[in-house]
Structure 1
């Protein structure tokens, strides 16, 4: 029996050598398979694809800017007795603190809020738009987005300022600059009711009947002072 086991071990060792798998002295086939499984587990745990990139994260000290022209509120405490929340609007840049990160976790410990600055697809899934972005706000980032009330208000102010320029050439340049910066003005349309007013139609018909039949009666009315005898 021992000879059969020894022969089986020799065959396993020979097969392993042919496959390029290293063997240990006096190692049984079961021990070798266990060692190979552990080695494979460790390799899968520690290895990364060659083209894998480290996903961005949000940590204390991370710089973030706001893209939401309606503003976003960042809490700094999970209770009402802690520090007050901070509100940022489009173009504002702020530095993430540990308090912000702690307050942005739900009761199960799942991250949300400011944590999502590093995950824009998740922002779109939760909020329907990107509200936060990593890094400082670009210098040319407008405080509005096209078509919003903020955009309309800013455009109207710029248009009025352009028309106020006294020099005709400079005024034309200022108006073109408004168009280039804000885009075309919002289109407005008014739908007028083309249907004829029934009262107007009835009055016209009555007038036609009177004209065709002549004047049937006439009454003279004179103006009198109030209280005068009739």
Structure 2
């Protein structure tokens, strides 16, 4: 745009209120004050406990942790791979600010699952710190074997179970494909088939 061709009025600051879509600050502040006054008179009601659709009334359900650590009571933490039982009363008290049952949200998000911890699942995520610690401990145990054939077989088992020691996108993909095959095999065994 050539500034010589423009009208000088284009560059002049327009006075407040020259446009119909501008905000009237006094009206906004008065509206905000009215909202705050209404909130002070009647504080928001606590959300009603929402019963969990996964825990029957009067009973309890076994869950297992698939994601990060979770806590039902705020004091006891359950890490990935652990199992815990929740009563109907405990589940009804665990809800978020929007009134959703937290336990149900965890199940839907895949952080926890129903029933015992599946035997095809690992108690760690490939490439995580717990994976590194468990792999190092298994490697040390394999290295402590004196028989060369046993030691080689133990290192092969460590490699098969834990995957490569260094995480790369390729090793992560290979490990993921192996885990999906293990899951398919497990599911076939659960259905009574053989693979």
The TM-score, its normalising length taken from structure 2, stands at 0.52
Q: Report if the CA contact (8 A) 1:58-1:117 is conserved.
A: no
Match of 2:69 among 68, 71, 89: 71
Q: What is the Cα deviation at residue 100 of structure 1?
A: 2.1
Q: Deviations over 1:25-55 (max 9, x none)?
A: xxxxxxxxxxxxxxxxxxxxxxxxxxxxxxx
Which residue is equivalent to 1:136? 116
d(CA) in 2 for partners of 1:187 and 1:147? 6
Q: What is the Cα deviation at residue 160 of structure 1?
A: 1.2
Gaps of 5+ in 1: 1-55, 76-83, 124-129, 189-230
Could you say if the C-alpha distance between residues 106 and 167 of structure 1 is closer, same or farther in structure 2, counting changes exceeding 3 Å?
Answer: closer
The two structures, once aligned, show a CA RMSD in angstroms of: 2.3
Tell me, what secondary structure is at the counterpart of 2:80? coil
Could you say if the C-alpha distance between residues 160 and 57 of structure 1 is closer, same or farther in structure 2, counting changes exceeding 3 Å?
Answer: same
Which residue is equivalent to 1:97? 87
d(CA) in 1 for partners of 2:69 and 2:97? 25
The TM-score, its normalising length taken from structure 1, stands at 0.45
Q: Deviations over 1:151-197 (max 9, x none)?
A: 01111111111111100111100010010000011159xxxxxxxxx
1:58 aligns with 2:57: no
1:115 aligns with 2:104: yes
Residue-pair matches, total: 114
d(CA) in 2 for partners of 1:187 and 1:101? 38
Q: What is the Cα deviation at residue 57 of structure 1?
A: 2.7
Structure with greater contact order relative to length (CA < 8 Å, sep ≥ 6)? 2
d(CA) in 2 for partners of 1:159 and 1:73? 32
